[in-house]
Structure 1
Amino acid sequence: MQLEECVNYLLTTAQHSVFLKMTEKLSVFDLTPVQYAVLYCLWENDKKSPKEIAERLKLENSTISGILERMEKKGLIKRMISKEDRRFIQIMLTEKGAVLEKDVLAAVDKVNEEVMSVFSKEECENLKTQLRVLAGLSV
Protein backbone atom coordinates (compact mmCIF):
# COMPACT_ATOMS: atom_id res chain seq x y z
CA MET A 1 0.00 0.00 0.00
CA GLN A 2 1.29 3.45 -0.88
CA LEU A 3 1.78 5.82 2.02
CA GLU A 4 -0.80 8.27 0.63
CA GLU A 5 -3.40 5.49 0.76
CA CYS A 6 -2.73 4.60 4.41
CA VAL A 7 -5.51 5.89 6.66
CA ASN A 8 -3.11 6.31 9.59
CA TYR A 9 -0.78 8.47 7.50
CA LEU A 10 -3.64 10.59 6.16
CA LEU A 11 -5.22 11.14 9.56
CA THR A 12 -1.89 11.84 11.26
CA THR A 13 -0.84 14.32 8.59
CA ALA A 14 -4.21 16.08 8.61
CA GLN A 15 -4.25 16.19 12.41
CA HIS A 16 -0.75 17.67 12.50
CA SER A 17 -1.74 20.41 10.06
CA VAL A 18 -4.82 21.34 12.10
CA PHE A 19 -2.83 21.09 15.36
CA LEU A 20 -0.26 23.61 14.07
CA LYS A 21 -2.99 26.08 13.09
CA MET A 22 -4.73 25.64 16.43
CA THR A 23 -1.45 26.02 18.34
CA GLU A 24 -0.72 29.27 16.53
CA LYS A 25 -4.18 30.76 17.24
CA LEU A 26 -4.17 29.71 20.89
CA SER A 27 -0.61 30.91 21.56
CA VAL A 28 -1.88 34.49 22.04
CA PHE A 29 -3.78 33.17 25.08
CA ASP A 30 -0.76 31.15 26.30
CA LEU A 31 -2.76 27.96 25.74
CA THR A 32 -2.07 24.67 24.02
CA PRO A 33 -4.82 22.80 22.16
CA VAL A 34 -5.19 20.28 24.99
CA GLN A 35 -5.35 23.05 27.59
CA TYR A 36 -8.15 24.63 25.55
CA ALA A 37 -9.96 21.27 25.65
CA VAL A 38 -9.63 21.10 29.44
CA LEU A 39 -10.96 24.64 29.76
CA TYR A 40 -13.84 23.72 27.47
CA CYS A 41 -14.78 20.85 29.79
CA LEU A 42 -14.85 23.29 32.67
CA TRP A 43 -16.77 25.93 30.71
CA GLU A 44 -19.43 23.24 30.20
CA ASN A 45 -19.52 22.44 33.92
CA ASP A 46 -17.48 24.52 36.37
CA LYS A 47 -16.40 21.55 38.52
CA LYS A 48 -15.07 18.21 37.33
CA SER A 49 -12.75 15.56 38.63
CA PRO A 50 -9.50 14.86 36.77
CA LYS A 51 -10.95 11.45 35.87
CA GLU A 52 -14.06 13.04 34.30
CA ILE A 53 -11.90 15.42 32.26
CA ALA A 54 -9.62 12.59 31.12
CA GLU A 55 -12.63 10.49 30.07
CA ARG A 56 -14.24 13.38 28.16
CA LEU A 57 -10.98 14.09 26.30
CA LYS A 58 -10.07 10.42 25.80
CA LEU A 59 -6.78 10.87 27.68
CA GLU A 60 -4.98 8.71 30.21
CA ASN A 61 -5.27 9.77 33.86
CA SER A 62 -1.47 10.07 34.03
CA THR A 63 -1.49 12.44 31.04
CA ILE A 64 -4.19 14.73 32.43
CA SER A 65 -2.31 15.09 35.70
CA GLY A 66 0.62 16.94 34.10
CA ILE A 67 -1.68 19.09 31.99
CA LEU A 68 -3.67 20.14 35.06
CA GLU A 69 -0.47 20.92 36.96
CA ARG A 70 0.75 23.27 34.20
CA MET A 71 -2.67 24.93 33.98
CA GLU A 72 -2.74 25.45 37.73
CA LYS A 73 0.70 27.11 37.58
CA LYS A 74 -0.69 29.47 34.90
CA GLY A 75 -3.56 30.37 37.22
CA LEU A 76 -6.27 28.98 34.90
CA ILE A 77 -7.63 26.33 37.26
CA LYS A 78 -7.46 25.32 40.89
CA ARG A 79 -7.63 21.91 42.50
CA MET A 80 -9.93 21.53 45.46
CA ILE A 81 -9.64 18.54 47.79
CA SER A 82 -12.97 17.29 49.11
CA LYS A 83 -13.46 17.81 52.83
CA GLU A 84 -15.55 14.63 53.01
CA ASP A 85 -13.13 12.40 51.11
CA ARG A 86 -9.55 13.64 50.79
CA ARG A 87 -8.95 11.23 47.90
CA PHE A 88 -11.46 13.15 45.76
CA ILE A 89 -10.20 16.19 43.88
CA GLN A 90 -12.31 18.65 41.94
CA ILE A 91 -10.92 20.92 39.25
CA MET A 92 -12.42 24.39 39.11
CA LEU A 93 -11.93 27.38 36.85
CA THR A 94 -10.28 30.47 38.21
CA GLU A 95 -11.50 33.87 37.10
CA LYS A 96 -8.53 33.99 34.70
CA GLY A 97 -9.67 30.71 33.11
CA ALA A 98 -13.32 31.76 32.98
CA VAL A 99 -12.77 35.10 31.25
CA LEU A 100 -10.93 33.44 28.36
CA GLU A 101 -14.04 31.59 27.17
CA LYS A 102 -15.45 34.06 24.63
CA ASP A 103 -12.14 34.96 22.97
CA VAL A 104 -10.75 31.42 22.92
CA LEU A 105 -13.96 29.98 21.46
CA ALA A 106 -13.86 32.68 18.76
CA ALA A 107 -10.26 31.72 17.92
CA VAL A 108 -11.17 28.03 17.74
CA ASP A 109 -14.14 28.84 15.49
CA LYS A 110 -11.77 30.78 13.22
CA VAL A 111 -9.41 27.81 12.93
CA ASN A 112 -12.33 25.49 12.16
CA GLU A 113 -13.56 27.89 9.47
CA GLU A 114 -10.08 28.13 7.92
CA VAL A 115 -9.50 24.38 7.96
CA MET A 116 -12.92 23.48 6.61
CA SER A 117 -13.03 26.25 4.00
CA VAL A 118 -11.80 23.83 1.34
CA PHE A 119 -15.03 21.82 1.68
CA SER A 120 -18.68 22.52 0.95
CA LYS A 121 -21.08 22.65 3.90
CA GLU A 122 -22.28 19.12 3.09
CA GLU A 123 -18.71 17.81 2.81
CA CYS A 124 -17.87 19.40 6.20
CA GLU A 125 -20.79 17.66 7.88
CA ASN A 126 -19.95 14.34 6.21
CA LEU A 127 -16.29 14.58 7.22
CA LYS A 128 -17.15 15.37 10.85
CA THR A 129 -19.66 12.51 10.92
CA GLN A 130 -17.10 10.08 9.52
CA LEU A 131 -14.42 11.26 11.95
CA ARG A 132 -16.82 10.77 14.87
CA VAL A 133 -17.45 7.21 13.69
CA LEU A 134 -13.71 6.49 13.42
CA ALA A 135 -13.16 8.01 16.87
CA GLY A 136 -15.94 5.89 18.35
CA LEU A 137 -17.93 8.99 19.30
CA SER A 138 -21.10 8.06 17.43
CA VAL A 139 -22.78 5.05 15.96
Structure 2
Amino acid sequence: MEDISLEQILYNKPGFLIRRLQQIGITVFLEETAEFDTTPVQYGALAAIRAYPNIDQLRLAQAIGFDRNTISGVVERLEAKGLVCRSTGTDRRTKLLSLTPEGAALLEQMYPGTERAQARILKGLTEAEKATFIKMLQRVVEANNEISRVPVSSPKRDI
Protein backbone atom coordinates (compact mmCIF):
# COMPACT_ATOMS: atom_id res chain seq x y z
CA MET A 1 0.00 0.00 0.00
CA GLU A 2 3.05 2.27 -0.04
CA ASP A 3 2.28 3.75 -3.44
CA ILE A 4 -1.47 4.21 -2.91
CA SER A 5 -2.55 7.80 -2.39
CA LEU A 6 -5.00 9.08 0.19
CA GLU A 7 -7.35 9.86 -2.70
CA GLN A 8 -7.40 6.17 -3.65
CA ILE A 9 -7.79 4.95 -0.07
CA LEU A 10 -10.17 7.54 1.36
CA TYR A 11 -11.08 10.72 -0.51
CA ASN A 12 -13.02 9.05 -3.31
CA LYS A 13 -14.94 6.58 -1.14
CA PRO A 14 -18.70 7.03 -0.70
CA GLY A 15 -18.61 6.47 3.06
CA PHE A 16 -16.01 9.18 3.58
CA LEU A 17 -17.77 11.61 1.23
CA ILE A 18 -21.18 10.98 2.83
CA ARG A 19 -19.74 11.59 6.31
CA ARG A 20 -18.07 14.81 5.14
CA LEU A 21 -21.27 15.99 3.47
CA GLN A 22 -23.19 15.29 6.68
CA GLN A 23 -20.64 17.34 8.66
CA ILE A 24 -20.95 20.16 6.15
CA GLY A 25 -24.75 19.90 6.19
CA ILE A 26 -24.95 20.20 9.96
CA THR A 27 -22.57 23.16 9.99
CA VAL A 28 -24.54 24.98 7.29
CA PHE A 29 -27.89 24.20 8.99
CA LEU A 30 -26.62 25.57 12.31
CA GLU A 31 -25.25 28.71 10.62
CA GLU A 32 -28.49 29.41 8.77
CA THR A 33 -30.70 28.77 11.80
CA ALA A 34 -28.41 29.93 14.63
CA GLU A 35 -30.94 32.41 16.03
CA PHE A 36 -33.40 29.59 16.81
CA ASP A 37 -31.16 27.37 19.00
CA THR A 38 -32.54 24.21 17.38
CA THR A 39 -30.58 21.20 16.11
CA PRO A 40 -31.26 19.42 12.82
CA VAL A 41 -32.70 16.46 14.76
CA GLN A 42 -35.02 18.73 16.74
CA TYR A 43 -36.12 20.42 13.52
CA GLY A 44 -36.81 17.03 11.92
CA ALA A 45 -38.84 15.94 14.94
CA LEU A 46 -40.87 19.16 14.87
CA ALA A 47 -41.50 18.78 11.14
CA ALA A 48 -42.65 15.17 11.57
CA ILE A 49 -44.94 16.09 14.48
CA ARG A 50 -46.42 18.86 12.33
CA ALA A 51 -46.96 16.42 9.45
CA TYR A 52 -48.47 13.77 11.75
CA PRO A 53 -50.30 15.47 14.66
CA ASN A 54 -50.73 13.20 17.68
CA ILE A 55 -47.99 10.86 16.54
CA ASP A 56 -46.59 8.69 19.32
CA GLN A 57 -42.90 8.70 20.21
CA LEU A 58 -42.15 5.29 18.67
CA ARG A 59 -43.65 6.26 15.32
CA LEU A 60 -41.87 9.61 15.47
CA ALA A 61 -38.57 7.76 15.94
CA GLN A 62 -39.38 5.50 12.99
CA ALA A 63 -40.42 8.44 10.81
CA ILE A 64 -37.08 10.24 11.15
CA GLY A 65 -34.73 7.28 11.74
CA PHE A 66 -33.75 7.64 15.39
CA ASP A 67 -33.70 5.07 18.16
CA ARG A 68 -36.10 5.22 21.10
CA ASN A 69 -33.56 6.52 23.59
CA THR A 70 -32.38 9.34 21.33
CA ILE A 71 -35.89 10.45 20.41
CA SER A 72 -36.93 10.39 24.06
CA GLY A 73 -34.25 12.96 24.91
CA VAL A 74 -35.14 15.04 21.85
CA VAL A 75 -38.82 15.12 22.82
CA GLU A 76 -37.95 16.01 26.43
CA ARG A 77 -35.85 18.98 25.24
CA LEU A 78 -38.58 20.14 22.84
CA GLU A 79 -41.17 19.88 25.60
CA ALA A 80 -38.91 21.81 28.01
CA LYS A 81 -38.61 24.57 25.38
CA GLY A 82 -42.41 24.71 25.15
CA LEU A 83 -42.46 23.57 21.51
CA VAL A 84 -44.16 20.20 21.94
CA CYS A 85 -46.80 18.87 24.29
CA ARG A 86 -47.55 15.27 25.20
CA SER A 87 -50.99 13.86 25.87
CA THR A 88 -52.07 10.39 26.90
CA GLY A 89 -53.41 8.16 24.15
CA THR A 90 -56.07 5.47 24.47
CA ASP A 91 -53.37 3.24 25.94
CA ARG A 92 -52.15 5.07 29.05
CA ARG A 93 -48.56 4.14 28.26
CA THR A 94 -48.68 5.84 24.86
CA LYS A 95 -47.85 9.52 24.76
CA LEU A 96 -49.12 11.45 21.76
CA LEU A 97 -47.14 14.42 20.54
CA SER A 98 -48.38 17.69 19.10
CA LEU A 99 -46.85 21.06 18.42
CA THR A 100 -47.64 23.96 20.68
CA PRO A 101 -48.42 27.27 18.97
CA GLU A 102 -44.81 28.23 19.76
CA GLY A 103 -43.54 25.06 18.07
CA ALA A 104 -45.61 25.72 14.96
CA ALA A 105 -44.40 29.32 14.85
CA LEU A 106 -40.77 28.24 15.25
CA LEU A 107 -41.07 25.84 12.30
CA GLU A 108 -42.53 28.63 10.19
CA GLN A 109 -39.76 31.04 11.19
CA MET A 110 -37.00 28.48 10.60
CA TYR A 111 -38.18 27.37 7.18
CA PRO A 112 -36.41 30.07 5.11
CA GLY A 113 -33.12 29.32 6.88
CA THR A 114 -33.47 25.58 6.30
CA GLU A 115 -34.11 26.23 2.61
CA ARG A 116 -31.00 28.42 2.41
CA ALA A 117 -29.05 25.64 4.10
CA GLN A 118 -30.22 23.08 1.55
CA ALA A 119 -29.19 25.37 -1.30
CA ARG A 120 -25.76 25.92 0.26
CA ILE A 121 -25.21 22.21 0.78
CA LEU A 122 -25.67 21.61 -2.94
CA LYS A 123 -23.52 24.57 -3.99
CA GLY A 124 -21.51 23.76 -7.09
CA LEU A 125 -24.26 21.76 -8.80
CA THR A 126 -26.53 22.94 -11.57
CA GLU A 127 -30.30 22.74 -11.05
CA ALA A 128 -30.43 19.56 -13.16
CA GLU A 129 -27.52 18.04 -11.22
CA LYS A 130 -29.21 18.89 -7.92
CA ALA A 131 -32.39 17.06 -8.96
CA THR A 132 -30.38 14.06 -10.18
CA PHE A 133 -28.23 14.00 -7.04
CA ILE A 134 -31.30 14.05 -4.77
CA LYS A 135 -32.93 11.22 -6.74
CA MET A 136 -29.74 9.19 -6.55
CA LEU A 137 -29.43 9.79 -2.79
CA GLN A 138 -33.05 8.72 -2.33
CA ARG A 139 -32.43 5.50 -4.27
CA VAL A 140 -29.31 4.64 -2.29
CA VAL A 141 -31.04 5.39 1.04
CA GLU A 142 -34.15 3.39 0.10
CA ALA A 143 -32.05 0.44 -1.12
CA ASN A 144 -30.20 0.36 2.20
CA ASN A 145 -32.97 1.42 4.59
CA GLU A 146 -33.57 -2.02 6.08
CA ILE A 147 -29.92 -2.54 7.03
CA SER A 148 -29.89 0.70 8.97
CA ARG A 149 -29.76 0.53 12.76
CA VAL A 150 -33.10 2.37 12.68
CA PRO A 151 -34.96 1.93 9.38
CA VAL A 152 -37.25 4.80 8.45
CA SER A 153 -40.90 3.97 8.01
CA SER A 154 -43.70 6.33 7.14
CA PRO A 155 -46.30 6.83 9.87
CA LYS A 156 -48.96 6.84 7.16
CA ARG A 157 -48.57 3.08 6.81
CA ASP A 158 -48.73 2.47 10.53
CA ILE A 159 -51.36 4.90 11.83
TM-score with structure 1 setting the length: 0.91
1:64 maps to what in 2?
Answer: 71
- Is the radius of gyration larger for structure 1 or structure 2? 2
Distance 2:143 2:110 in 1: 24
Contact 1:26 1:33 in 2 (8 A): no
Q: Indicate whether 1:97 and 2:103 are aligned.
A: yes
Q: 1:137 to 1:21 in 2, by over 3 A?
A: farther
Identity of aligned residues (%): 25
| 1:67-97 Cα deviation digits (max 9, x unpaired) | 1011111111011112x32111101111110
Distance 2:15 2:130 in 1: 20
Show structure 1 runs of 5+ residues with no match. none
Which residue of the other structure, out of 108, 112, 121, is the alignment partner of 1:106?
112
**CA offset at residue 101 of structure 1?**
2.4
For 1:117, give the aligned amino acid: K
TM-score with structure 2 setting the length: 0.80
For 1:127, give the aligned amino acid: F
Correspondences of 1:19-34 after superposition (within 5 Å): 19-34=26-41
User: Could you list the runs of 4 or more consecutive aligned residues of structure 1 that deviate by over 4 angstroms after TM superposition?
Assistant: none
Q: Indicate whether 1:6 and 2:9 are aligned.
A: no
SS at match of 2:98: strand
**CA offset at residue 46 of structure 1?**
2.3
Distance 1:85 1:39 in 2: 23
2:93 maps to what in 1?
Answer: 87
| 1:37-76 Cα deviation digits (max 9, x unpaired) | 0111122132211111111101111110011011111111
